[in-house]
């Protein structure tokens, strides 16, 4: 074993079982990629350009749009080139960098949902103290421990993966450097990697889900029997609940797919792993743009003004 050198170059071979049909995947994923970039850019522009949207709730939505805009850029272009031109190679260093950025931004998506739930809790349950408790200095004190948690857990996961030796295989059955897809190629023991990966899932998305659920239970309890103003404010929570439920379902499906892989087609497992990162990036801006009345109004105003300017230019 000591005389066998460790691989430093890998082949991303996701959806290889599709054979000649693999390039067809370029079409749906490229359409979703364009939708993600366009929708998130538009949402970010509207929130930044409109002073009336500079309240904490809309700033958090803009932060989510920024993350959703950045995340696909680190793995979707390479995946599309792989589908179209069969460019599948990646170095170990590039793989670890991609793994860190993708998993950190994925964890940040979950944490942003938690911050949004906290924002709704203060807005609905303690409206008189909302601006005081969501002031930047106080918010940073709450946000920093969660960011440190995310950075530490992702760094630990990636560092442990980087210390493994890959003696026999260098073909990842995936379209990007997903943690477990790389770890399962190692020739030594990977028990600690699997354990840390499992702990990170429970400490980040699952823990965030528990805190979010608790906050919404308190919110619902507070709203029951209250006035119409609070009931109307509760309407904005529905958006967060939908996003959270769908995102967590896909995350857990992707996580469990590695535990039941013998009874699950490889293409399905790869699809779930891609979508738990890509789905929020595509649909968050659409959901927030449609469900949030104030943003929807400014989006329509922006699109209408641009269409009017284009009409004048052509005339």
Q: What is the pLDDT of residues 90-135, one digit of tens each?
A: 899 999 999 999 999 989 988 988 888 888 888 888 888 888 888 8
Q: Looking at residue 284, what is its pLDDT?
A: 82
Backbone angle region of 86, left / alpha / beta, with phi > 0 → left and psi within -120 to 50 → alpha: left
How confident is the model at residue 154, as a pLDDT?
95
Cα separation, 244 vs 192, whole angstroms:
29
pLDDT reported for residue 129:
84
> Is beta strand 9-12 parallel, antiparallel or unpaired with respect to 171-172?
parallel
pLDDT at 2: 47
**Residue-level pLDDT at 17:** 82
Question: Are the beta carbons of 285 and 311 closer than 8 angstroms?
Answer: no
pLDDT at position 262 is 58
Q: Provide the token pair at 306.
A: 């641009």
Residue 135, both tokens: 């002031």
Considering just the CA atoms, what is the radius of gyration of the chain in Å? 22
Distance separating alpha carbons of residues 155 and 197, to the nearest angstrom:
11
What pLDDT, on the 0 to 100 scale, is given for residue 235?
Answer: 61
The predicted pLDDT at position 80 comes to 92
What pLDDT does 27 receive? 93
Q: Considering only CA atoms, which of 240, 226, 205 is closest in space to residue 120?
A: 240
For residue 172, the cross-strand partners are 12
Instruction: State the pLDDT at residue 275.
Output: 84
- Ordered by start, the domain boundaries in the chain are 9-314
Exposed/middle/buried for 165, CB within 10 Å: 0-12, 13-18, 19+?
middle
Neighbours of 275 (CB within 10 A): 18
Please name the residue ranges forming H helices in the chain.
26-49, 56-70, 76-85, 92-125, 130-133, 136-162, 179-183, 191-201, 207-223, 228-257, 266-291, 293-314
Q: What is the pTM of this model?
A: 0.85
pLDDT in tens, the chain (315 residues): 444 567 888 898 888 888 888 889 999 999 999 999 998 998 898 888 888 888 888 888 899 999 999 999 999 999 999 998 888 888 999 999 999 999 999 899 889 888 888 888 888 888 888 888 888 888 888 889 999 999 999 999 999 999 988 887 888 888 888 888 888 888 888 889 989 988 998 898 888 888 888 888 888 777 776 655 555 555 666 666 776 777 777 777 767 766 665 566 778 888 888 888 888 888 888 777 776 777 878 777 777 765 544 544 444
- In angstroms, rounded to a whole number, what is the distance separating the alpha carbons of residues 188 and 181? 15
CATH of the domain spanning 9-314, picked from 1.20.1070.10, 3.40.50.2300, 3.40.50.1820, 1.10.3720.10? 1.20.1070.10
- What is residue 231's predicted lDDT score, i.e. its pLDDT? 56
The contacts of residue 296 (CB under 8 Å, 6+ apart) are 289, 290
């Amino acid at each position: 074993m000591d005389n066998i050198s460790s691989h430093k170059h890998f082949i991303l071979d996701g959806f290889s079982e599709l054979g000649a049909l693999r390039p067809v995947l370029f079409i749906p994923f490229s359409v979703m990629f364009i939708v993600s970039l366009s929708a998130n850019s538009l949402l970010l522009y509207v929130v930044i350009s409109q002073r009336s949207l500079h309240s904490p709730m809309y700033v958090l939505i803009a932060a989510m749009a920024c993350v959703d805009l950045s995340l696909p850029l680190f793995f979707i272009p390479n995946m599309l080139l792989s589908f179209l031109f069969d460019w599948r190679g990646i170095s170990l260093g590039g793989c670890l960098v991609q793994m860190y950025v993708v998993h950190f931004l994925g964890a940040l998506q979950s944490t942003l949902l938690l911050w949004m739930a906290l924002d709704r809790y203060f807005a609905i349950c303690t409206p008189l103290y909302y601006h005081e408790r969501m002031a930047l200095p106080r918010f940073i004190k709450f946000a920093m421990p969660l960011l440190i948690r995310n950075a530490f857990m992702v760094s630990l996961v990636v560092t442990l993966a980087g210390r493994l030796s890959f003696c026999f295989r260098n073909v990842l059955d995936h379209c990007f450097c997903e943690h477990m897809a790389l770890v399962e190629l190692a020739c030594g023991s990977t028990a600690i990697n699997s354990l840390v990966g499992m702990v990170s899932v429970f400490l980040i998305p699952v823990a965030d889900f528990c805190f979010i659920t608790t906050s919404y239970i308190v919110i619902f309890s507070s709203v029951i029997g209250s006035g119409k103003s609070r009931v109307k404010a509760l309407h904005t929570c529905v958006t967060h609940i939908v996003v959270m439920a769908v995102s967590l379902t896909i995350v857990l499906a992707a996580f469990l797919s590695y535990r039941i892989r013998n009874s699950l087609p490889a293409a399905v497992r790869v699809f779930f792993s891609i979508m738990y990162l890509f789905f929020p990036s595509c649909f968050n801006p659409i959901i927030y743009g449609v469900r949030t009345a104030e943003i929807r109004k400014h989006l329509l105003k922006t699109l209408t003004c641009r269409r009017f300017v284009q009409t004048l230019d052509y005339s």
